[in-house]
Amino acid sequence: MIELVTVILVVGVLAAVAIPRLSSQGFDEQRLYDQTLAALRYAQRTAVAYQRTVCATFTGGTQLSLTYASAYGSATCDTSLAPPGGTTASYIVTAQGAATVSAASFTFDPLGRPSTGQTITAGGRNIVVEGETGYVH
């Protein structure tokens, strides 16, 4: 009898811990957070490396796209930014499932500073873009 109660208790604890982690919504939100964080870090570093303005555009609560100014000194982003490795023509992060991203569009100047400090909510977690340095965390 004691063994049966122990097994039921262990199964109950495992179920309480494991079942929430198996839902796809949690994975979708974590993926969106990770991809958005990586994209914004890449945008900031690219602005410094290319010495160009890089724009981070959020649309519909489900998408982030990165573009940059093709002309030195221009503030108008007119060219799609390719992701690392150049596998596609443009760097776009799209939310999967019910995950959403909430932020206002902004730019990084050639020194890597954002046009405005940001707190971006992606997948239920916050990403901060520091206003003075452009540091993304």
pLDDT of residue 97: 85
pLDDT of residue 21: 63
Q: Helical H runs in the chain?
A: 2-22, 24-50
pLDDT of residue 124: 87
pLDDT of residue 125: 93
Looking at per-residue pLDDT, the higher value among 45 and 16 belongs to: 45
CATH class of the domain at 25-129: alpha beta
pLDDT of residue 98: 85
pLDDT of residue 22: 63
Contact status, residue 112 vs residue 47, Cβ threshold 8 Å: yes
Per-residue H/E/C for 66-85: EEECCCCCCCCCCEECCCCC
Cα–Cα–Cα angle for 120, 122, 125, nearest 5°?
90
Residue 26, class by beta-carbon neighbours within 10 Å (0-12 exposed, 13-18 middle, 19+ buried)?
middle
Q: What is the pLDDT of residues 19-37, one digit of tens each?
A: 766 666 678 889 999 999 9
Looking at per-residue pLDDT, the higher value among 128 and 123 belongs to: 128
Q: What ranges do the domains of the chain cover? A: 25-129
The average pLDDT across 115-133 equals 92
Q: What is the pLDDT of residues 44-102, one digit of tens each?
A: 999 999 999 999 999 999 999 999 999 999 999 999 999 988 777 889 999 988 889 99
